[in-house]
């Protein structure tokens, strides 16, 4: 977080850049858009050029996958230069209506999907869910995520984990409708002021619960809480980390088997940004019958699905093949039956691509929690 | 250019189920989200665009609860200069004429060139508050405005009529324009702008402070009695025909024959 007095150059440490080109060399978006992040880092040094740079359409092509940050030998985050330019546009107010409505919805209703706050816990209906109470100690405090809470396609992630937690008998609790957007996409859309407000409000809310760990269902919330909320008292983990722990402790029991070839797609926010690679694989491998195969581009080199960086609300001008389509074609070449992911955005983008390519009959995109819900004894 | 823009805080009924309360004349709003009325949002944007082009001063006027302050602050973050929020249970808000009288009370006695309102509120859909307000203020009006051109002492308003027709009218200023959606693209109110707007004046007044006689705008004064709100009964429904193309065609043909349509 910057102070107002910092210049753009200071804020993003532009003078630290040695123009080695590793950022652009790894950027997955360059195959379908005219985005050259290295050029932006170079040009942004000239403060008088900033307004002109901010008006370039390609600043909205970045998916905030963080490949450039992972590859930068100087430890810079080139993508954040683009986010800084987005901030200039956001603060002028003249943004795409879809972006405007998503951000306004976060402010008014605590989620970017223009859904009523009162409906946030509707997914819990009919389930035996333990609700957190301020001041009452809880080992694992769950943070659901706006997309999982409201989108019927991915609600099963939350529903299935409740059944599993009750079965495993561990100490857990969920927040009620007071749960508010973590701001992951608010940050990447460049709404710095709103993000600062969310950090302040969510830190206060989450610290009221005496939780040992905050378990996030979405990698976007996970990475955001882990890296951008300095004053959270609890440790932040992703649900695959908790389940892998339960697996090692023998608390997950499988029913039947799954004779399928599965390929795991590393979500950028879980892997590149959260450094969680092995746990989701361990969970998949443990399901009897599963043949886990790997993409050639995996782990730190995983291909982004283009769901992050606020891209759910910004359509690229490029008509070239979507990265999600490339990914599905790669899975097809591997003859995978299931593309397993651990992120709600990856489910939505990859499934769209799969349907668009007409592979619905022979392939399935599934969140790990969907599969576990089907095969874990609950 | 001295302007007033009148805005309303309305529920979004598109997502939550609408349930009528046992009293039969109100709806349960517990699960609704609230925001600025859509058309009013365009009216705010139009006033700000006029201010940016011609300079000026914009006052927001709204009747509503404290929760609506966020909507008013957003309008001020976009460029409106000050606001008056009227909060008083004695207003017969179901009657647009009563609402117009209250809004007029907040404007009368002050100099103004233009008053902008949305053309319609999404909750009660009367489309008459702005028109009634013009009458109360004793000025001309144009409704359903899709384009505004400011001339010397006049305004040329392009009005949307039925069937895609546009009517162009010229009005002497001051005037009231009711703004149709789509006239512009409302901007986003960034949080930093909303925070800065906290410094702008938002006056909260009741009818007495406004100098409006409650007897003139209350239930007894209104000639409209809200008798009943109800969800219309479903009288017909659509049937989705499933199956392969041939099967579907056969089923469809059978339905048409049975119904005496072929």
Q: Does a structural domain hold residue B262?
A: no
**C-alpha to C-alpha distance for A350 and A342, rounded to whole angstroms:** 12
Q: Does a structural domain hold residue B45?
A: yes
Within 10 angstroms of residue A165's Cβ, the number of other Cβ atoms is: 26
Q: Binning pLDDT at 50, 70 and 90, where does residue B260 land?
A: confident
Contact B115, B174 (CB under 8 A): yes
According to the model, what pLDDT value does residue A1 have? 47
Chain centroid to CA A342: how far?
Answer: 9
Chain B positions touching A118 (Cβ under 8 A) are: 16, 30-33
Reading the block at residue A277, the tokens are 């690679």
**Residue B77 structural domain:** 2-217
Helix (H, G, I), strand (E, B) or coil at B39: helix
Instruction: Name the closest residue on chain A to residue B68, using Cα atoms.
Output: A108
**Average pLDDT of A67-89?**
96
**Average pLDDT of B50-77?**
97
Q: Binning pLDDT at 50, 70 and 90, where does residue A375 land?
A: confident
Instruction: Name the closest residue on chain B to residue A195, using Cα atoms.
Output: B191
Contact B67, B22 (CB under 8 A): no
**C-alpha to C-alpha distance for B48 and B193, rounded to whole angstroms:** 14
Q: Does a structural domain hold residue B245?
A: no
Contact B191 A116 (CB under 8 A): no
B158 close to A (CB below 8 A): no
Nearest neighbour of B190 by CB, restricted to A91, A116, A118 = A91
According to the model, what pLDDT value does residue B261 have? 84
Which residues have CB under 8 Å from B66's CB, separation 6+?
B87, B204
Name the interface residues of A facing B (CB cutoff 8 Å). 90-95, 97, 99-100, 103-104, 107-109, 114-119, 191-194, 196-197
B19 close to A (CB below 8 A): no
Contact A104 B185 (CB under 8 A): no
**C-alpha to C-alpha distance for B118 and B60, rounded to whole angstroms:** 13
pLDDT for residue A4 is more than 70: no
Domains parsed from chain A with CATH numbers: 8-92 (1.10.1060.10), 98-246 (3.40.50.1860), 255-375 (3.40.50.10700)
pLDDT for residue A2 is more than 90: no
Instruction: Name the closest residue on chain B to residue A100, using Cα atoms.
Output: B188
Q: Binning pLDDT at 50, 70 and 90, where does residue A371 land?
A: very high
* Bridge partner list, B6: B61, B117
**Average pLDDT of A266-287?**
96
Q: pLDDT tens, A217-261? A: 999 999 999 999 999 999 999 999 999 999 999 988 888 889 999
- Write down the mean pLDDT value for chain A: 95
Contact B225, A128 (CB under 8 A): no
Tell me how close the Cα of B15 comes to any Cα of chain A, in angstroms.
7
Side-chain-side CA neighbours of residue A347 (13 Å)? 20
Contact B99, B63 (CB under 8 A): yes
Q: Does a structural domain hold residue B228?
A: no
CATH value at residue B76: 3.40.50.620
**C-alpha to C-alpha distance for B211 and A159, rounded to whole angstroms:** 56
According to the model, what pLDDT value does residue B193 have? 96
pLDDT for residue A312 is more than 90: yes
B35 close to A (CB below 8 A): yes
pLDDT for residue A278 is more than 90: yes
**C-alpha to C-alpha distance for B98 and B119, rounded to whole angstroms:** 17
Q: Does a structural domain hold residue B171?
A: yes
Q: Does a structural domain hold residue B186?
A: yes
Chain A positions touching B12 (Cβ under 8 A) are: 114, 116
Q: Does a structural domain hold residue B54?
A: yes
Q: pLDDT tens, B97-155? A: 999 999 999 999 999 999 999 999 999 999 999 999 999 999 999 999 999 999 999 99
Chain A positions touching B33 (Cβ under 8 A) are: 108-109, 114-118
Which residues have CB under 8 Å from A286's CB, separation 6+?
A247, A252, A254
Contact A192 B192 (CB under 8 A): yes
Nearest neighbour of B70 by CB, restricted to A94, A99, A108 = A108
**C-alpha to C-alpha distance for B120 and A49, rounded to whole angstroms:** 43
According to the model, what pLDDT value does residue A376 have? 72
pTM: 0.92
Q: Are strands B166-172 and A364-367 parallel, antiparallel or unpaired?
A: unpaired
Reading the block at residue A216, the tokens are 């996030």
Instruction: Name the closest residue on chain B to residue A115, using Cα atoms.
Output: B15
Within 10 angstroms of residue A163's Cβ, the number of other Cβ atoms is: 15
Tell me how close the Cα of B220 comes to any Cα of chain A, in angstroms.
36
**C-alpha to C-alpha distance for A377 and A134, rounded to whole angstroms:** 32
Q: Burial level of B71, CB count in 10 A (0-12/13-18/19+)? A: buried
Q: pLDDT tens, A137-177? A: 999 999 999 999 999 999 999 999 999 999 888 999 999 99
End-to-end CA distance of chain B: 65
Helix (H, G, I), strand (E, B) or coil at A215: strand
According to the model, what pLDDT value does residue A23 have? 96
pLDDT for residue A182 is more than 50: yes
pLDDT for residue A125 is more than 60: yes
Query: Length of chain B, please?
Result: 262
Query: What is the 8-class DSSP label of residue B2?
Result: E
**Average pLDDT of B214-228?**
95
**Average pLDDT of B241-253?**
91
Chain A positions touching B70 (Cβ under 8 A) are: 107-108
B192 close to A (CB below 8 A): yes
Query: What is the 8-class DSSP label of residue B56?
Result: -
Tell me how close the Cα of B8 comes to any Cα of chain A, in angstroms.
16
- Tally the domains of chain B: 1
Which residues have CB under 8 Å from B83's CB, separation 6+?
B59, B60, B61, B62, B72, B75, B76, B200, B201, B202, B203
Q: Does a structural domain hold residue B104?
A: yes
Contact A324, A35 (CB under 8 A): no
Q: Of A251-265, A279-293, B196-210, B217-231, where does mean pLDDT reach its minimum?
A: A251-265
């Amino acid at each position: 977080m910057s102070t107002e007095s910092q210049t753009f150059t200071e804020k993003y440490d532009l003078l630290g850049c040695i123009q080695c080109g590793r950022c652009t060399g790894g950027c997955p978006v360059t195959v379908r858009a005219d985005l050259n992040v290295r050029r932006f880092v170079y040009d942004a040094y000239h403060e008088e050029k900033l307004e002109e740079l901010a008006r370039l359409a390609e600043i909205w092509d970045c998916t905030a996958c963080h490949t450039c940050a992972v590859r930068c030998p100087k430890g810079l985050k080139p993508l954040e230069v683009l986010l800084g330019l987005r901030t200039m546009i956001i603060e002028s107010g003249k943004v795409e209506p879809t972006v405007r409505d998503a951000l306004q919805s976060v402010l008014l209703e605590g989620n970017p999907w223009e859904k009523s706050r009162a409906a946030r816990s509707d997914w819990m209906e009919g389930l035996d869910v333990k609700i957190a109470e301020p001041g009452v100690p809880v080992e694992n405090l769950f943070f659901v995520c706006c997309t999982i809470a409201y989108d019927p396609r991915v609600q099963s992630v939350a529903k299935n984990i409740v059944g599993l937690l009750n079965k495993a008998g561990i100490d857990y609790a969920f927040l009620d409708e007071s749960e508010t957007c973590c701001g992951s996409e608010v940050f990447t859309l460049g709404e710095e002021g709103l993000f600062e407000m969310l950090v302040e409000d969510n830190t206060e809310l989450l610290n009221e619960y005496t939780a040992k760990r905050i378990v996030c269902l979405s990698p976007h919330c996970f990475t955001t809480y882990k890296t951008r909320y300095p004053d959270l008292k609890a440790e932040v983990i992703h649900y695959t980390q908790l389940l892998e722990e339960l697996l090692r402790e023998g608390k997950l029991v499988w029913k039947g088997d799954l004779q399928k070839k599965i390929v795991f797609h590393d979500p950028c926010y879980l892997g590149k940004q959260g450094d969680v690679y092995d746990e989701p694989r361990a969970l998949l491998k443990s399901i009897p019958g599963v043949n886990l195969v790997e993409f050639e581009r995996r782990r730190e080199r995983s291909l982004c699905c283009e769901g992050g960086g606020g891209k759910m609300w910004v359509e690229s001008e490029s008509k070239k093949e979507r990265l999600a389509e490339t990914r599905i074609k790669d899975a097809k070449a591997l003859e995978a039956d299931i593309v397993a992911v651990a992120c709600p955005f990856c489910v939505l983008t990859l499934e769209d691509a799969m349907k668009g390519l007409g592979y619905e009959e022979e392939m399935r995109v599934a969140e790990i929690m969907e599969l576990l819900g089907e095969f874990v004894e609950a | 250019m001295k302007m007033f823009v009148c805005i309303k805080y309305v529920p979004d009924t598109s997502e939550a189920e609408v349930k009528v309360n046992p009293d039969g004349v109100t709806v349960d709003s517990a699960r609704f989200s609230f925001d600025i009325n859509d058309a009013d949002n365009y009216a705010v944007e139009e006033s700000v665009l006029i201010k940016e082009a011609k300079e000026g001063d914009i006052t927001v006027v709204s009747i509503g609860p404290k929760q609506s302050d966020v909507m008013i602050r957003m309008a001020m973050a976009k460029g409106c200069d000050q606001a008056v929020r009227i909060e008083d249970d004695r207003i017969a808000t179901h009657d647009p004429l009563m609402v117009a009288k209250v809004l007029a009370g907040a404007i009368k006695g002050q100099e103004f060139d233009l008053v902008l309102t949305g053309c319609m509120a999404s909750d009660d859909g009367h489309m008459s508050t702005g028109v009634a307000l013009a009458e109360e203020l004793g000025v001309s009006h144009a409704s359903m405005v899709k384009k505004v051109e400011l001339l010397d002492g006049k305004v040329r308003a392009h009005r949307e009529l039925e069937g895609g027709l546009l009517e162009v009218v010229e009005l002497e200023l001051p005037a009231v324009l009711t703004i149709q959606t789509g006239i512009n693209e409302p901007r986003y109110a960034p949080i930093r702008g909303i925070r800065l707007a906290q410094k702008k004046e938002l006056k909260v007044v009741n009818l007495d402070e406004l100098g409006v006689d409650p007897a003139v705008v209350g239930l007894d004064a209104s000639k409209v009695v809200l008798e009943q709100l109800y969800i219309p009964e479903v009288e017909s429904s659509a049937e989705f025909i499933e199956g392969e193309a041939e099967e579907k065609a056969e089923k469809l043909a059978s339905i048409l024959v049975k119904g005496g349509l072929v």
